[in-house]
Amino acid sequence: MRFDVITLFPELFSPFLTSGVTRRAFGQGLVKVKLWNPRDYADGSYRRVDDRPFGGGPGMVMMAEPLARCLEAIRADRQDADADRAPAVLFSPIGQPLNHAAVEHWSSSSGAVLICGRYEGLDQRFIDTFVDYQISLGDFVLSGGEIPAMALLDAVARLQPGVLNDEGSHQMDSFNLALDGLLDCPHYTRPENWRGLATPQELLSGNHASIERWRREKRLALTLAQRPELLEQADLQGKLAEKDKACLASLASNVRAKR
């Protein structure tokens, strides 16, 4: 799996690629990352990559030609054939939200070319000609695409076999199908009592059935409170048992009673 990143600030990626548990994926080549600066493909001594927008307005726009040359150099370096070339992904506020399903898709792919925009954006002609996907982290605007690129790389890296200490760890993540797409439950560790706050007795009981029942109820409660639309999806997909629905009905009744 190989990801090529087009960025004006490749130095931002150095600490990211060599820190934390995901460094195993990058260091061992499970997820190969190669950085490309479009300034290296710009004309003139100033290697200019941006210019004023036609029609006026604030800010600058990244020029199409340096980006196109950079992407073409990546294609040549990857020796991509038209039939199986790596898709070009642009991080943009207008893109599709990055979610767990998308991460799982990219984690089992052969990689992609990640394009990190800056300034007011990219010349639309480059987008229309080369970009296959646009991805967003949410309904807000960042200074550039580097943080979203790192977010995708991190999420993809931790799903690779051997990266996490416990192979089952990511299966218990929020949104994972192992949890039926629900949010994860709260977690506790030692000491049992911390500043007057006790660990739930169910987790200390040693009764695995009781522990799993408590965790399931907490997942349902947290999802109901924070992301109720995920419960609707789980129900439509037939992932909620009758006891789950009874638990949710009880939770909803308690909420109404407190109002």
Q: Tokens representing 103? A: 């991460």
DSSP 134-172: EEESSSS--SBSHHHHHHHHHHHHTTSTTSSSSTTTGGG
pLDDT digits (tens, 9 = 90+) for 230-255: 999 999 999 999 999 999 999 999 88
User: What topology does CATH give the domain 2-157?
Assistant: Alpha/beta knot (3.40.1280)
Active-site annotation holder among 65, 80, 104, 120: 120
* pLDDT of res. 177: 61
Active-site annotation holder among 75, 158, 216, 219: 158
Whether 158 is catalytic is yes
Calculate mean pLDDT across residues 15-21.
95
Helix orientation angle between 242-258 and 208-226, rounded to the nearest 10 degrees? 50
Whether 186 is catalytic is no
Compute, in degrees rounded to 10, the torsion defined by CA atoms 29, 31, 32, 35.
-140
pLDDT digits (tens, 9 = 90+) for 192-235: 999 999 999 999 999 999 999 999 999 999 999 999 999 999 99
Furthest C-alpha separation in the chain: 71
Residues in the chain: 259
Question: Per-residue pLDDT for 169 more than 60?
Answer: no
Calculate mean pLDDT across residues 20-48.
95
CATH of domain 174-258: 1.10.1270.20
Q: Which residue ranges make up each domain of the chain? A: 2-157, 174-258
